[in-house]
Amino acid sequence: MITIRHRDERGVANMGWLNSNHGFSFGHYFDPGHMGFRALRVINEDRVIPGAGFPTHGHANMEIVSYVLNGALEHKDSIGTGSVIRPGEVQVMSAGRGIRHSEYNASDTEPVHFLQIWILPEANNLAPATSRRISRPSRSRAS
């Protein structure tokens, strides 16, 4: 059964440099009634202050999608991929059997606001896949 959960009911983490709202149990926020939905494990709405971010850390057996709403998010990982993701762009990372990466606000003056979504993979312990940036296609208008 699908139930609507109001945004004010989400878990919250405010670390000064990071303000995060968790749709499901995540980090220090534990809610046994909201552990994910089918293959969807995490959907966090994150805001990071200028110049701050997540230092290098590891993931395994997870598909991680980042979607930037405002600002710019810089990604670097242990398989040599790096990029800056901007509003409307999506980055997909297949952690496979293990990958290390960092994510930082790419600006020294503007905050970054993004969604981070984690999806359980169909198979575990595959080779990590190269992160990639997918730009939103431009819209063409009919005359």
* pLDDT > 70? residue 118: yes
What sign does the CA torsion over 27, 121, 73, 116 have? negative
Largest distance between two CA atoms of the chain: 53
Residue with tokens 């606001």: 113
Residue 73's pLDDT band (cuts 50, 70, 90): very high
φ, ψ for residue 3 (rounded to 5)? -120, 150
Cα–Cα distances (Å) from 14 to 4, 90, 132, in that order, read 24, 24, 29
**DSSP-assigned states of every residue in 26-80:** BTTB--TT-S-BTTEEEEEEEEE-TT-EEEEEEE-S-EEEEEEEES-EEEEETTS
- What are the extents of the domains in the chain? 33-134
Give the pLDDT of residue 137.
58
3-state secondary structure of 65: strand
Each residue of 11-57: pLDDT tens digit? Answer: 788 999 999 998 888 888 788 788 888 888 889 999 999 999 999 99
Q: Please give the CATH topology (third level) of the domain spanning 33-134.
A: Jelly Rolls (2.60.120)
User: How far is Cα of residue 142 from the mean position of the Cα atoms in its chain?
Assistant: 34
